[in-house]
Amino acid sequence: MPAIHKLPEVLINQIAAGEVVERPASVLKELMENSLDAGSRAVEVQLTQGGIKQLRISDDGCGIDQGDLGLALERHATSKIASLEDLEAVGTMGFRGEALAAIASVARTQITSRTPDAAHAWRVTERAREPVPAALNGGTVIEVEDLYYNTPARRKFLKSDATEFGHCDDVFRRVALARPDVGFQLSHNGRLTLRLAAGDAERRVREILGDEFMTHSRRVEVDAGAMRLSGFAALPAYARANRDAQFFYVNGRFVRDKLIQHALRQAYADILHGARHPAFVLFLDMDPAGVDVNVHPAKTEVRFREGRAIHQFVFHGLTRALASPLQHVTPVAEA
Ligand code: ADP
Ligand code: MG
């Protein structure tokens, strides 16, 4: 056996990228979450060829300091946590400090950013990490090009532009559903495909799931002090053939969790028959200390400290909302 040796940094990042950067949609998720963590009010996404050729995300957030720009591309470098206490109470979408490093190890990556007090913007790329002056009014623009250009084995697993765009569109909607207070815009190959103005939750849900979903939905609103379940759940008449209209968020994070799925399925068990799937947009908000989001790099899995209590709360809250006779969402008047 050869002697043990430390792997080079770029290879370490490329290995990590296997978990964080599965396809263009996973890059998009990380970049949109970064924009939201930066306090942006408007996020614009431009994709070329399903995001394989280019993803460009621009925001009006806090920007990155000249002195921090090079660090942003390094592994385990983050501005979001500094201690274990911070990790346990984490309120941002990111905290692992590995997304940009992973992305930059498998795609040509450029960051242009300007903080409010800077005289002008600065730019770094994955090859040139010393910031150079650039032009930008404010916020951050991240451009990711030629995904997997240097790891051809991975590139082979990418599907058609249309399929990859579909996954990006899913991610875009998932992220946007949880943040109705932020404006979002998506375009593909130079054509605007979705524009969402900042507004209230009901409007955002309607824009993404449609009028029909709203007409067939009950509002869910259960507040138990330490936990809150809110959102919209469709009655059986709106059940789907697939799970595409299932959105569940824990503290603003889209998750797919077995325990939650079980509670939801049970709440629908008596009213939904056959192979149909319920449709819902639900937000569970709770003390961050009661849920571990650091289970997997993509953070779509979570672990609850009080699993039983969460299960009960979600099951009962939803059962009650679905059974109550007069809680239809009032349709908005035709414009
Ligand atoms: P994490 O989000 O886990 O901190 P990332 O690798 O995604 O790690 O980002 C590294 C750092 O770069 C962030 O902690 C943040 O300070 C900075 N950053 C990334 N994107 C943006 C953005 N759009 N606006 C402001 N700062 C950003
Ligand atoms: Mg991040």
Determine which residue's CA is closest to atom 8 belonging to ligand 1: 97
More confident residue, 283 or 293: 283
CA distance 185 to 251: 23
Nearest CA-CA partner of 90 in 293, 304, 282: 293
For residue 217 and ligand 1, the question of a CB distance below 6 A is answered with no
pLDDT at 334 over 70: no
What Cα–Cα distance (Å) separates residue 300 from each residue in 26, 93, 269?
11, 11, 25
Bridge partners, 57 (sequence order): 45, 142
Pocket test for ligand 1, best of 29, 34, 57 (most atoms within 8 A of CB): 34
**CB of 48 sitting under 6 A from ligand 1:** no
| Percent of the chain clearing pLDDT 90 (strictly above) | 82
CB distance 177 to 66 below 8 Å: no
Label residue 325 by pLDDT band (50, 70, 90). low
With bands split at pLDDT 50, 70 and 90, how would you rate the model's confidence at 275? confident
Q: How far is the CA of 78 from the centre of ligand 1 (A)?
A: 6
Mutate which of 19, 78, 105 for ligand 1? The one with the most ligand atoms within 8 Å of its CB, which is 78
- The alpha helices in the chain, defined as continuous H runs, are 9-20, 24-37, 66-72, 84-88, 99-106, 152-155, 161-177, 201-209, 211-215, 258-269, 307-323
Q: Does the complex come out with an ipTM higher than 0.90?
A: yes
**What average pLDDT does this structure show over 179-202?**
98
Q: Is the pLDDT of residue 328 over 80?
A: no
* Residues in CB range of 245: below 8 A, 6 or more apart: 209, 213, 234, 277, 279, 280
Given this model, what pLDDT does residue 332 score? 47
Residue 284: pLDDT over 50: yes
Q: Are 235 and 218 in contact (CB under 8 A)?
A: yes
Chain segment 74-104, per-residue pLDDT in tens:
999 999 999 999 988 889 999 999 999 999 9
**Which has the closest alpha carbon to 219: 207, 205, 235, 230?**
230
Q: How far is the CA of 301 from the centre of ligand 1 (A)?
A: 21
At 333 the pLDDT is 45
Contact 14, 105 (CB under 8 A): yes
> Which ligand has its closest atom nearest to the C-alpha of 78?
1
64 Cβ below 6 A of ligand 1: yes
Are 87 and 95 a contacting pair, CB within 8 Å?
yes
Find the ligand nearest to 142 CA: 1
39-82 residue pLDDT tens: 999 999 999 999 999 999 999 999 999 999 999 999 999 999 99
Q: Beta partners for 121?
A: 134
Q: Per residue in 130-159, pLDDT tens?
A: 999 999 999 999 999 999 999 998 999 999
Question: Average per-residue pLDDT in the chain?
Answer: 93
CB 114 within 8 A of CB 121: yes
Q: Is the CB of 36 inside a 6 Å radius of any atom of ligand 1?
A: no
Which amino acid residue places its CA nearest to atom 23 of ligand 1? 35
pLDDT for residue 335: 36
How many angstroms separate the alpha carbon of residue 213 from the centre of ligand 1? 35
